[in-house]
Amino acid sequence: MASEVDGPDAGTPGDVLWSGRFDGPLHPAIHEFTGSLHFDRRLVRHDLLASLAHARMLRETGILDEEDSDLILSGLSRMLTEVETGRLEVEGPDEDVHSWIERTLVERVGEAGKRLHAARSRNDQTAVALRLYVRERLEDVLAGVAGLQRVLTGQAATHRKTFLPGYTHLQRGQPVSLAHHLLAHVAALRSDAERLKAAHDSAGVSPLGAGALAGSSFPIDPERCTALLGLDRTFANSMHIVGDRDYVLDAAYACALLLVHLSRWADEIVLWSTREFGFIELDDSVSQGSSIMPQKKNPEAAEILRGKSARAIGNVTALLALMKGLPLTFNSDFQEDKERLFDSLDTADWSLAAAIAIARGVVYRTDAMEAALAGGMLTATELADHLVRRGVPFRTAHHQVGEAVRIAEEAGVELWDLELETLRTCCPMARDDVHEVLRPEAAVTAHDSPGGPAPGRVLEQLQTADREVTELERWLDDRPDSPIRRAYLEERLLDEVLA
């Protein structure tokens, strides 16, 4: 964070944490420019947890005596309880949330509160609070991913025998089942979940004990802080960890790609709800109208969801540009990572909630999907494969089927409607049963390769998706609360907690 001052009207150097070095107050414009309390106040819970862990470690290592640590720990635990219950608001002239915590603690417990910062810098203090915040918010986003996957897999299970065209270049390509199509979106979300979990792991390093950049001369125990906070591991290099924001970039990128996938799905919702496609109808609860055209029923939520990806992409770009030229170790430029990160996490969370609502509001028009199977010569590849099985080289078969397609188009019929003798004029190796091969349902069933649209393969995909979503839900349910939070929010007596 930037340097601190009590506020624009700060008068004496003694009012600020670093005042000993300075003869005069900070200029009001600089205080306002460098202040971050208005956006980093959302880190208050996480900083209080980290401060509790730090104070507990100071007590256990003998850096703080029992009298002072009792006051500090009880004061911090009361603040945490009041913040979580809404009885304590983060407000005041402080430049950032970290200064607010220290000032509030000193006001409550007196001089003992000034001892909390021993063996700690705001560099590792800021980093640990942000890491805890990122992990918590990523868990929220992952819960949304699991929720959307549940909706889509449920719809897929219902539509295993609903067939429609699959598209390439937005042109009808080959027939698939609606289940297979929906499971493609579930697969994209699976990749998103893996990236979000990787970002969660990336943020799981405790920087407490790194100090400003060079550790501490006190006999600290960083591993103890890591354990108390429920983080995965402790830093390996103090200079690296205070200047590391890879986990911020990891989280922002994972959110951006999630939003890109949601955008592609939302674009499909917009497209399929048009009269031209007519594959779906949207419930009134997820549609909006026009201020001038009374007949309109617009997929505005899906359009806005499609647009949200631009924000997330922009945030990643901004963060990469922020980090690209910074020297080791800590720099006040890092203040600029918060709002971009917060916006990415917020946007991902809100977008998933909207996507779940939209998905639940979709009614699939299976009649329109079935009608779209005609008119696109969707089983031309099946005819080529049929000829290949009869010994025709694929490139030759491709040419022959192209001629058959031209004949069918000129006649205004589908390939499966061509008379056998007509078909054999360009595909002489076609068997008598070729028409059965060319039916869309038969084509879908024939594509029984792994991951394909055949009913058995779709069932496998559904089972895999259900298992993976269940595993993700269990992972989220099993995420432990930090031991230090459990201890201090169960309203035990302090001496019981410290025993």
Q: Tell me whether residue 162 is in a domain.
A: yes
* Model pLDDT, residue 15: 55
* Model pLDDT, residue 20: 63
Question: Which residue in the list 169, 217, 291, 449 is annotated as catalytic?
Answer: 169
| Domain shared by 332 and 358, yes or no | yes
- What 3-state DSSP class applies to 96? coil
Within 8 A by CB and 6+ apart from 377, the residues are 405, 408, 409, 414, 415
| Domain shared by 322 and 233, yes or no | yes
| Domain shared by 387 and 360, yes or no | no
| Domain shared by 418 and 349, yes or no | no
Cis (ω within 30 of 0) for the bond into 422? no
| Domain-terminating residue out of 353, 371, 389 | 371
Query: What tokens does 112 get?
Result: 């003992």
Q: How far is CA 256 from CA 195, 261, 344, 359, 476, in A?
A: 11, 9, 7, 20, 21
| Domain shared by 210 and 276, yes or no | yes
| Domain-terminating residue out of 315, 344, 371 | 371
* Model pLDDT, residue 290: 86
Q: Are 487 and 230 contacting, i.e. CB atoms less than 8 angstroms apart?
A: no
Can you give the residue range of the structural domain that contains 396?
380-438
| Domain shared by 229 and 253, yes or no | yes
* Model pLDDT, residue 300: 96
| Domain shared by 224 and 350, yes or no | yes
Q: Tell me whether residue 204 is in a domain.
A: yes
| Domain shared by 362 and 399, yes or no | no
| Domain-terminating residue out of 371, 399, 414 | 371
CATH code for the domain of 423? 1.10.40.30
Within 8 A by CB and 6+ apart from 373, the residues are 163, 164, 165, 175, 440
CA 240 to chain centre: 26
- In 3D space, the residue among 220, 235, 226, 207 whose CA is nearest the CA of residue 59 turns out to be 220
| Kind and range of the H or E run holding 206 | strand 205-206
3-state DSSP of 259-299 = HHHHHHHHHHHHHHCCCCCCCEEECHHHCECCCCCCCCCEC
| Domain shared by 355 and 401, yes or no | no
List Cβ<8 Å contacts ≥24 apart for 13-20: 17/99, 17/102
Confirm whether 290 is a catalytic residue.
yes
Give CA–CA dist 139/123, Å, rounded: 25
| Domain shared by 171 and 311, yes or no | yes
Instruction: Give the total number of structural domains in the chain.
Output: 2
Q: Compute and round to an integer the Cα radius of gyration of the chain.
A: 31
Confirm whether 27 is a catalytic residue.
no
Q: Would you give per-residue pLDDT tens digits along the chain (499 residues)? A: 333 333 334 333 345 555 567 777 888 898 889 899 999 999 999 999 999 999 999 999 999 999 999 999 999 999 998 999 899 999 999 999 999 999 999 999 999 999 999 999 999 999 999 999 999 999 999 999 999 999 999 999 999 999 999 999 999 999 999 999 999 999 999 999 999 999 999 999 999 999 999 999 999 999 999 999 999 999 999 999 999 999 999 999 999 999 999 999 999 999 999 999 999 999 999 999 989 988 899 999 999 999 999 999 999 999 999 999 999 999 999 999 999 999 999 999 999 999 999 999 999 999 999 999 998 899 999 999 999 999 999 999 999 999 999 999 999 999 999 999 999 999 999 999 999 999 999 999 999 999 999 999 999 999 999 999 999 999 999 987 778 777 666 544 344 444 4
Q: Tell me whether residue 470 is in a domain.
A: no
Q: Tell me whether residue 214 is in a domain.
A: yes
| Domain shared by 167 and 312, yes or no | yes
CA 126 to chain centre: 22
Query: What tokens does 319 get?
Result: 């963060």
Q: Tell me whether residue 108 is in a domain.
A: no
Q: Tell me whether residue 154 is in a domain.
A: yes
DSSP, residue by residue, 454-487: SHHHHHHHHHHHHHHHHHHHHHHHTPPPPHHHHH
- What 3-state DSSP class applies to 165? strand
| Domain shared by 385 and 364, yes or no | no
Considering the entire predicted model, what is its pTM? Answer: 0.92
Give CA–CA dist 58/42, Å, rounded: 26
Q: Tell me whether residue 411 is in a domain.
A: yes
Please provide residue 330's backbone torsions phi and psi, each rounded to the nearest 5 degrees: -90, 140
Question: Which residue in the list 38, 191, 285, 290 is annotated as catalytic?
Answer: 290
CATH code for the domain of 277? 1.20.200.10
Q: Tell me whether residue 112 is in a domain.
A: no
Within 8 A by CB and 6+ apart from 387, the residues are 396, 397, 400, 401, 427, 429, 430
